Amino acid sequence: MTGGNTRRILILTLLAAVSALSQTAERKIVIQSLDPHYDWAITPERVRDYREASQDVRIVVARTPEEFASEIVDADAVVGGISKDLFAKAKKLKWLQSYSAGVEAYRWPEFVESDVILTNCKIVQGPNIADHAFAMLLALTRGLHVFIPGRSKEEWIRDGPSVPPLGELPGKTAVIIGMGGIGSQIAQRAHGFGMTVIGVDPKDIPYMASVSKIVSPNELDSVLPEADVVFVAAPYTPQTQRMMAGAQFALMKTGSYFIAVSRGGLYDTSALVKALDSRKLAGAGLDVTNPEPLPKGHPLWTMPNVILTPHVAGTSPGAQERRADVVRDNILRFVHNQPLRNVVDKRKGY
């Protein structure tokens, strides 16, 4: 055999090996959309963007539980979510991208102890949730929750037992539990309205001009007597469960407000009802409840000093665009073995 033939055979062998390696190295990412609420993730334009993020990955869209159960078996990554039962079948799984900021659904030991990387969509909902939180506060302090329903009855009621005292925000104090992507945005708005802002967070938070001071969660009780309004914007973890209970509501000023926009498990619902019923609190704005959905017949439905919305604060076109950007960027990073954005400490839950 001549030297030229030998080199030719060697080159062909190497090319075949490289081709086989590239085929085995191809990664599979399953985009899960079993809930119409997340259809934004699988529009043709978005799926095309995901696929264009890298040519070295196979993107599979699962639109039914049956498709998802089938595709998860050999998936390297999942965008969306996964149940405990299906996780046991996903032997190749290396990365899970959650659509939401909250990741309490993945607290089971098998997942927490695994090597699977969990990323979330924190921060992306900050502007719209902060807007929602402040809309609730403004509605309560200016009596809009009373005046707006009067329109349908053609009632011009400016005073009386149904009309609460109308207040203003400058000079008031806001205590914000959770100074992440949502809480920091609430702080900006509160500061813009002339309020003093006190943050509560376990992490060392960089300096923010909008915040007067930040205390640790074990110091919460020391700042609650200063609060004209308490905003709940922290993730739900074993440490934050029922942070706001009867003792905490009792420490707040008479006539203060309570706004919850992260998870309902952070406050004691029964204690909140008592604080509202006794008029210790002037009002509450709740986008999140516990239980959720709030069952029919629950006293919160009929309390005149409560504004309820059905966990919609996180929804807006801008938030969906920012979510899609996180998904696309992380797909690109995953395929090229780069650090992922928004990695969650699974033990801490955020």
pLDDT digits (tens, 9 = 90+) for 38-51: 787 888 888 888 88
Q: What is the pLDDT of residue 158?
A: 87
Alpha-carbon span 136 to 182, nearest angstrom: 15
Residues 40, 101 within the same domain: yes
Q: Which residue type is seen at 35? A: D
**Three-point CA angle 339, 341, 344, nearest 5°:** 100
Average pLDDT over residues 202-211: 91
| Per-residue b or e along 293-314, where b marks 16 or more CB atoms closer than 10 Å to that residue's CB | ebeeeeebeebebbbbeebebb
Range with top average pLDDT, 4-18, 31-45, 332-346: 332-346
Token pair 């019923």 is found at 277
Residues 205, 112 within the same domain: no
Name the strands in the sheet holding 306-308, side by side, starting at the edge strand that comes first in the sequence.
213-215, 196-200, 173-177, 229-232, 256-260, 281-286, 306-308
Residues 146, 291 within the same domain: yes
Reported residue count of the chain is: 350
Q: CA distances (Å), 47 to each of 41, 42, 44, 324, 325, in order? A: 8, 6, 5, 10, 12
pLDDT in tens, 150-190: 888 888 988 888 889 999 999 999 999 999 999 999 999 99
Q: What is the pLDDT of residue 20?
A: 38
Token pair 């400016």 is found at 158
Pairing mode, strands 77-80 and 27-32:
parallel
Strands (E), 131-243: 173-177, 196-200, 213-215, 229-232
In a domain, 340, yes or no: no
Active site residues: 263, 292, 311
Residues 151, 109 within the same domain: no
Residue with the bigger pLDDT between 240 and 9: it is 240
Residues 26, 64 within the same domain: yes
Q: Which residues pair with 30 in a beta bridge?
A: 60, 78
CATH number at residue 56: 3.40.50.720
In a domain, 220, yes or no: yes
Residues 18, 82 within the same domain: yes
Residues 112, 188 within the same domain: no
| Burial degree of 267 (CB within 10 A; 0-12, 13-18, 19+) | buried
Cβ contacts of 128 within 8 Å, gap of 6 or more: 313, 314, 315, 316, 318, 319
Question: Structural domain of residue 10, as residue ranges?
Answer: 3-123+318-335
Please state the domain count of the chain: 2
Pairing mode, strands 173-177 and 229-232:
parallel
**Residue 7 scores a pLDDT above 60:** no
Lowest mean pLDDT among 1-10, 114-123, 303-312: 1-10
Report residue 290 as tokens.
């516990």
Q: Annotate 45-63 with DSSP letters as a single string.
A: HHHHHHHHH-TTEEEEEE-
Q: Which residue type is seen at 82? A: I
In a domain, 242, yes or no: yes
